[in-house]
Amino acid sequence: METTISTNQKTIVNDLANAIASFNPVKVAELLSDKGEFNITNEKGERIGTGKTNFIEWLTSRFEEFIADNPDREELKFDFDQCLYCKIGNPVIIFENGKFPTATKEIYEKEKCGLMLEFDDNLISGITFCYLFLKTDNPFRFERKCARHPE
Over the stretch 84-95, which tens digit does the pLDDT of each residue have? Answer: 988 999 999 999
Least confident of 58-62, 68-72, 144-148: 144-148
What pLDDT is attached to residue 44? 86
List of domains in the chain = 7-142 (3.10.450.50)
| Residues 4-54: tens digit of each pLDDT | 556 689 999 999 999 999 999 999 999 999 999 999 999 888 899 999 999
DSSP string, the chain: -PPP--HHHHHHHHHHHHHHHTT-HHHHHHHEEEEEEEEEE-TTS-EEEE-HHHHHHHHHHHHHHHHHH-TT--S--EEEEEBSSTTTT-EEEEEGGGTBS----STTSBS--EEEEEEETTEEEEEEEE--BSSS---BHHHHHSPPPP-
pLDDT, greater one: 62 or 6 = 62
The yes-or-no verdict on residue 141 having pLDDT over 70 is: no
